[in-house]
A and B are shown apart, each in its own frame.
Chain A
């Protein structure tokens, strides 16, 4: 290659590099811009929740607090008025955990068992059964409100936490079943045959062979169940009353019961408190969530 040719190519190469740099800037600029837009409400909530009321009334919602305070958070936790009682969110926090934990565990495990039975132990009419379960995922919450209220009444579970556990478990099952079915579909049938030859029955195969390899899809189910139940307002407001209400109903009551001057800082602190568990769950298990969804969908 001649010297001129080598020199002649240099400007072209640097032009290409510059074009790439501009391209990068546009991409990152765009991403940062949208990230800021999405983070904006969160920032306003956080800032507002640590400002005393007079600062909030001063008007600028983006201004940093002159005198930061944790009082609104403390008030939201233990003294804010929820309806007529001023007991803060703490009790409702506990309520919601009492609902979320058993409903999530039961629906996840039973959903996995369903998915296993539907893919690996084909029984007569398994397609029809799966079709009906799939139908369950398309049924809107509102459609089952009244029949479910009757059912809870008949079972004597109206207004109780147990009733909410029941509703959420039942309503979560179609989803966890569909997730697990997609996952187990891609697990080779020979694994089940090997367990059969080894003498393991249905439950032993499920418990010792299938469940230990199901972590990705169990995490998907757990995240799905946890966030849905935690964020539920409709079932909570329909089937639970007073001190048995879950967190989202309590949050709504805090925001709606204040008379006279609205304590925006306490409202924001309450909303933050209500959102923290689901935020944490996504931060901790988010990458498994994506992985689990992929493993189910790509091969299923």
Chain B
């Protein structure tokens, strides 16, 4: 186990810049998730950490040591691949011990190590099977076992759950989290699935276009996304973004929404220092669906509004209500059985959970 640091790392394929000056830091025992859409450079970055892709510029440090010029085997890492990449001609035992065999570890020690990890992952009864005789979930566990046997400093996961069906994916996600809690190892995990990122990570790095958009804890990324991309990428349904104009009313920040004749104003709490220069300018009001609730009469002044519900999507736990607010479509997460489509309803926005974005720079204001 060890820390991992990526310092201003860039990668170019010919003239194409895949990564530009990316910096990351994962402390010992961190579960760092690299999250982003396909083509954002997250897998390239993981391959560079593994030593499978050369670094164009910058440094990669594992346990405080620069490993740029080290071969994968000398970096003390283990990797789990999307396709699992189990050796088809070898059985589970051979698959798990191949790395140790290549390193010349004596047979007795190899066997002991395989047995230890096999019992940890409940693979004991499968050791003689070939990969093609295993189910998807079992293959996944073998791939994990192959990574665990060598007790490496850093574990690298490249979308390890994306080849599993939905139910198994959720199960394996929990198993993975338990495993991380038990072993306390350092993990770098690549995924495009924001739920995996939210549930597993201790720290998330959201990537787009070869650059990190935001790096923080999952909760922080959810509550205070650094820009519109992160706001839209995290959360299902995504954050509501309503265009408006920022005004000040007795020290309070007020967003005027829609046409002037609508006279729709929402107060979102005290005007922050950072928001002051944007007074009178166009802004995007960002509100999570669950920050919009039915008004029971005790809403803070200026935070309530009337809206017509266009559509209701019941999820069981709650109803997703689609409304129109100042010309923009807004989704509110309402308690079940409280609303029907076509109904006019009075709602309120939690000012503490509203945020403002600059529509030109797409950055969070404040």
Q: Which residues of A contact B (CB under 8 A)?
A: 188, 190-191, 193-200, 204, 208-209, 212-213
Q: Known contacts A208-B98, A212-B89, A213-B89; is A197 also within 8 Å of B83 by CB?
A: no
Chain B residues positioned under 8 Å from A208 (CB to CB): 87, 98
24 example contacts (A-B, Cβ-Cβ < 8 A) are as follows A188-B83, A190-B81, A193-B47, A193-B50, A193-B52, A193-B81, A193-B85, A194-B79, A194-B87, A195-B87, A195-B98, A196-B51, A196-B71, A196-B73, A197-B73, A197-B78, A198-B102, A198-B146, A199-B99, A199-B103, A209-B87, A209-B89, A212-B89, A213-B88
Interface residues on B, range: 20 to 34
From the candidates A188, A193, A200, name the one contacting B102 in the complex (CB within 8 A).
A200
Q: State in angstroms the CA–CA spacing of A58 and B72 once bound together.
A: 78
Given A194-B87, A213-B88, list of 7 further CB < 8 A pairs? A190-B83, A196-B71, A196-B73, A198-B98, A208-B87, A212-B87, A212-B89
Distance from A189 Cβ to chain B, minimum over Cβ atoms (Å): 9
Shortest beta-carbon distance from B354 to chain A in Å: 45
Chain B nearest CB from A99 CB (Å) reads 31
Instruction: Please give me the residue from chain B that is nearest to A214 by CB atom.
Output: B89
Chain B residues, CB < 8 A from A188: 83, 85
CA–CA, A199 and B99, complex, Å: 6
Q: Mark B54-85, 1 if CB is under 8 A from A, else 0.
A: 00000000000000000111000111011101
Contact A196 B89 (CB under 8 A): no
**Contact, CB under 8 Å: B87 / A197:** no
Which B residues lie within 8 Å of A194 (CB)? 79, 81, 85-87, 146
Least CB distance, A218 to chain B, in whole angstroms: 13
A191 CB contacts on chain B under 8 angstroms: 85, 87
A212 to B99, CA, bound (A): 17
A200 / chain B contacts, CB cutoff of 8 Å:
98, 102
Q: How many Å lie between the Cα of A242 and that of B3 in the bound state?
A: 74
Instruction: Flag if B88 contacts A193 (CB, 8 Å).
Output: no
Report A138 CB to chain B, min CB distance, Å: 31
Contact of B72 among A190, A197, A204, A212 (CB under 8 A): A197
Residues of A within 8 A of B78 (CB): 197
